[in-house]
Structure 1
């Protein structure tokens, strides 16, 4: 790693959807999750306290929307870039896409993200996205739990 890690603030009201990206981002040597908040009205205080380089914000949050908080960040923490995310519907009934299934299956032997990316001819960030999505859709905490749950639910 060269230089300082990218400092990230995550704002998501669903614990699982906040935890999965934090876990995946935490695997990167050059990324550090410095704050996790569950409400929009906590974003600015967390950003002022931790001075993140990037804020990953859900649109719909209790207390204040991610869009409103992004406007605050632009003024009060101008060095912080903002990425907006949102989820639609509940995680339970959503079927896994073919690529999410492929990524889960490829992780069954404990392969690293780099190994999975090579096997599937994808970038590592794309594999992380597929695994994160599968984790969210299965309501689990990590890819091995997601694999077990997807198999239990007959999704694989």
Structure 2
């Protein structure tokens, strides 16, 4: 379990982030067109998993916008923005913001992604949502960077996550 905070109040997650040099776990997430996406849909491209509680909060929305901007600069890289928001909300957000360089995916059906990756918040006001985290993987799905933001209300370290890809 990770010990993080939400508004300064201690909360816990269901486990710990996967370790660097391990492989990404397979997943089944729902895309904005309601199709199911798995890890196999993205193998062969570098991945940034931008994981957050809800796109309807300021910091989560900022992270999606920031990675959308950065994604246009990266070759052979996909930004997967993962939350438990309904796909309809994710789609509406991207349409309203004009964002087209990110792939919005939802863990709303089962929460299995959050549980498998140890990111499900298990207590507090955001119980059942995903903690703010970044996982970067190479083309073969090997994890090369992770960050679990210690305070949910803080932004991730975009530069560190992107630098690992620029320096690869």
Give the TM-score, by structure 1 length. 0.29
Query: Between Structure 1 and Structure 2, whose CA radius of gyration is higher?
Result: 1
More strand by share: 2
Higher relative contact order (CA 8 A, sep 6+): 2
More helix by share: 1
